[in-house]
Amino acid sequence: MTIVLKCAHCQPSLSLEDFKRWLKQFDRNGDGLISKRELRAAMRSASVRLSWFKSQEGMREADANGDGLLDDEEMENLVAFAQNRLGMKIVA
């Protein structure tokens, strides 16, 4: 699956499930959690024009329990962040 997130205005909407499925491709160590490093790899691959700082910010906002890893529920927080701050279109 190829998802390009860089153009919010010309992209078809992405569903929440699609987004999570896409994100989980970057779960390198297969623990079902997305680490900071894995998140950065995902952002790079999506061609999101996103600074390292932004990805840190996204992680901080999404990581509810502060363990530096995103579980399933926290990935949904990341979706909200991407929608509100990055202008991505994701439909539930």
Residues that bind Ca ion (CB under 5 A): 27, 29, 31, 33, 63, 65, 67, 69, 74
User: Residue 22 CB: number of other CB atoms within 10 A?
Assistant: 17
CB of 13 to Ca ion, least distance (A): 26
Nearer to Ca ion by Cβ, of 6 and 24: the residue is 24
Nearer to Ca ion by Cβ, of 59 and 88: the residue is 59
Beta bridge partners of 34: 70
Which among 70, 89, 66, 67 has a CA at the least distance from the CA of 11?
89
Asked if 45 contacts 26 with a C-beta cutoff of 8 angstroms, the reply is yes
Nearer to Ca ion by Cβ, of 75 and 90: the residue is 75
